[in-house]
Amino acid sequence: IQVQLLFQPTNTINQVLSICHDTSARFFLRNDTINYYTRDPIVSADGNILISGQYVILSPPYIKGGGFLMKCTPGGDIIWHKAYDSLNQVKQGFINYYRILELQDGSILLGGATGYSSNGNVELLLTKTNSTGNIIWSKVYRSRLWGDGSGSADYFYIQQFKQDPASGDIYITGPFWYKGSALVRVNGAN
């Protein structure tokens, strides 16, 4: 991601001051009432930008938030924006979509984490949307090997995910906090 910083001296027009490369892998935007946390935006097949992540509302009740997905032009104009604030069963916790994959059929697969768990763990979350961000399906994945414990006992982090062009299946790689790494294959249709 390149960010152009602009300044306006008193007697000239806007000029490019510098180009910065952010290597922190975590970005956030803030306005008066909400923070957006995001990472790893992608360029979609049509040349626009897909950005996902987590939002937190900074006005009462303060802890409300959820996941989001937005599409914008390379110039930063928003084409559409979707906010996802629950998983239809539980109204507490968080949703953070930190990975995006545009699928061959134009749909979008969001990968991330959620705190919507009875045992207090951070769980793996996959959500498939259509090309305009409307949810097709959303699933939370848990492992019987993970212990209880507010996200620190164990959890699976999506390092990469790619679609197999022949089968349409999704391959996910990532580390566990406790032991090693994993390769997971998911049916992209369901």
> What DSSP assignment string belongs to the chain?
-EEEEEE--TTS--EEEEEEE--SS-EEEE-SSEEEEE---EE-TTS-EEEEEEEEE-STTSS-EEEEEEEE-TTS-EEEEEEE---SS--SS-EEEEEEEE-TTS-EEEEEEE---TTS--EEEEEEE-TTS-EEEEEEE--TT---STTTS--B---EEEE-TTT--EEEEEEBSSS-EEEEEE-S--
The 10s digit of each residue's pLDDT in 65-100 is 788 999 999 998 999 999 887 654 444 567 889 999
- What is the model's pTM? 0.75
**pLDDT tens column, 142-181:** 765 555 555 544 567 788 889 999 999 999 888 766 666 7
